[in-house]
Copies of this chain bind each other. A is one copy, B any other.
Amino acid sequence: MVVAFEQELSVHSRTNTGLVIDVLEQQFGDRCQRSAAIRQQHAHTTTWLPNQPPDAVVFAKSTEEVADIVRICATHRVPIIPFGTGSSLEGHVNAPEGGISIDLSGMDRIVEVNAEDLDCRVEAGVTRKQLNSYLRDTGLFFPIDPGADASLGGMAATRASGTNAVRYGTMRDVVMGLTVVMPSGEIVRTGGRARKSSAGYDLTRLMIGSEGTLGVITELQLRLNGIPEAISGGVCPFPNIEAACNAVIMTIQCGIPVARIELLDELQIRACNTYSKMSLPETPTLFLEFHGTEASAREQSELFSAIAEDLGGGPFVWETEAEKRTKLWTARHDAYWAAFTLRPGAKGVSTDVCVPISKLAECVEETRRDISDNGLVAPIVGHVGDGNFHVLILVDENTPREIAQAEAFIERLNWRAIQMGGTCTGEHGIGQGKAKYMMKEHGNGLDVMRAIKQSLDPDNIMNPGKIMPVS
């Protein structure tokens, strides 16, 4: 009986989807694609989640076009999956119920830059690197830097951050307003250009992190920062994780406005040494960067140096020359690729959690023990100023036992973080992969989220199967 019903639903759904694709092809011509290759590429996932391609992909060029697509899909209750660069990590762009993927990468115009106000407006397909290239001559920069060169729309949708978040905040903090195509196809502008407002519900923040389940973000108003006059940065080794974490806590408590403070565990350092041809001591190490005037960047470096020394760490060697700093940070940014030298040919599965900083040492240590007890190869890298760390598990994807082991490890890691008052994801988002932790983390807050989803998207056409666990 259940099977018959599901079949019926499936047939019904397919009929509608066919109809919708016909209409889209008529309107968008060869910007509506249904080849297997393109469909599969738009359901790209980096984990063991299966590739679940959409039925078609439409390459949109404007907010109005996105609204047209959404209206057509809404009329026929066909799912919509927004797509930026496909760099999300938890199956955010998969299409478990089929439907239409809206590719926003062609919406790559920088609409305006207001240097006096330190803000800009961009279309959702602009990537963070594209924006920073564009800003180069203005003396301004956009600070949020997840590993990938993600689209800014996607970064807002997953509430992304990166290495600068400890000083410059996350997407939550730097997005001033959005243009969103709602599930009905209506175009709504949230927020504005004022730096603060108390005027009504914070729809901007509601959309940030909603992963395309409440609407399609098509434009963003973003806060920018002035490029600092001086930057100093370097690496500082510590005898153990605890000492490194205590140095982070002291640094933050003392109000040193550190711009980046990143932890690499000994395994990751070994990988970086191999990959980036460095010779760092193989011990837990902090990568740091300070922004300010010449004098204040130097002073911050000196203050940190004293803290590190007090805790048995150091020496902290810092560079003010751009070239030497670039070498260090290239190594840090290449940490992901470096990890594969630890197990060539393996698949890397990246997961992240975030805990109160006071719990960071304990959480990382327990996680290290878990890794070693289970014979996993899994280096740790963390944005530790925020209490956020990543584990990259290197598995042989053809060995089911390994996949199962890795999955069980990730599950323990997430429960551990939540148990310590933290969250199952600091910056990757929920997607499909982490939906199972939502109940544990949010309790009946999940009912509130469901009520909001139901009220704005009663037919559940916006990126279905993401964020909310199947009840």
Residue positions of A touching B, CB distance < 8 A: 114-119, 139, 158-161, 165, 169-170, 172-173, 182, 186-190, 192-203, 205-206, 208-210, 214, 225-226, 228-229, 249, 252-255, 257, 291-293, 295-296, 299, 303, 354-358, 386-388, 421-430, 434, 437-438, 441-449, 451-456, 467
Residues of B within 8 A of A194 (CB): 354-356, 386-388, 421-423, 426
Chain B, residue nearest A386 (CB): B195
Residues of B within 8 A of A209 (CB): 198, 200-202
Cα distance A448–B293 in the bound complex, in angstroms: 44
Contact check, B299 vs A200: say whether CB atoms are below 8 A apart. no
How far in angstroms is the closest Cβ of chain B from A376? 24
Residues of B within 8 A of A447 (CB): 186, 188
Task: Tell which of B292, B357, B358 touches A296, judged by Cβ atoms closer than 8 Å.
Answer: B292
3 A-B pairs with the lowest CB-CB distances in the bound complex, closest first: A455-B455, A205-B205, A197-B423
Contacts A117-B358, A201-B449, A225-B255 aside, 16 further interface pairs with beta carbons under 8 A come to A165-B196, A186-B447, A190-B445, A193-B356, A194-B422, A195-B388, A200-B467, A202-B205, A202-B209, A205-B206, A206-B206, A206-B452, A226-B254, A229-B255, A293-B296, A455-B455
* 14 pairs, A vs B, C-beta closer than 8 Å: A118-B252, A159-B202, A161-B196, A172-B205, A193-B356, A195-B387, A196-B386, A199-B437, A201-B449, A201-B467, A228-B255, A293-B303, A295-B295, A452-B456
Residues of B within 8 A of A295 (CB): 295-296, 299
Looking at A354, A386, A424, A434, the one whose CB has the most chain B CB atoms below 10 A away is A354
Cα distance A189–B449 in the bound complex, in angstroms: 12
Cα distance A424–B448 in the bound complex, in angstroms: 29
How many copies make up the complex? 2
Chain B, residue nearest A385 (CB): B195
Contact check, B198 vs A430: say whether CB atoms are below 8 A apart. yes
Chain B, residue nearest A437 (CB): B199
Contact check, B299 vs A199: say whether CB atoms are below 8 A apart. no
Residues of B within 8 A of A452 (CB): 201, 206, 452, 455-456
Looking at A200, A228, A451, the one whose CB has the most chain B CB atoms below 10 A away is A200
Residues of B within 8 A of A188 (CB): 443-445, 447-448
How far in angstroms is the closest Cβ of chain B from A111? 14
Chain B, residue nearest A184 (CB): B447
Task: Tell which of B197, B206, B424, B446 touches A202, judged by Cβ atoms closer than 8 Å.
Answer: B206
Chain B, residue nearest A467 (CB): B200
Residues of B within 8 A of A430 (CB): 198-200
Looking at A198, A303, A358, A444, the one whose CB has the most chain B CB atoms below 10 A away is A198
Residues of B within 8 A of A422 (CB): 192-194
Residues of B within 8 A of A429 (CB): 198-199
Residues of B within 8 A of A293 (CB): 296, 299, 303
Looking at A114, A118, A197, the one whose CB has the most chain B CB atoms below 10 A away is A197
Q: A119-B356, A196-B161, A293-B303 are in contact. Are A456 and B448 (CB under 8 A)?
A: yes
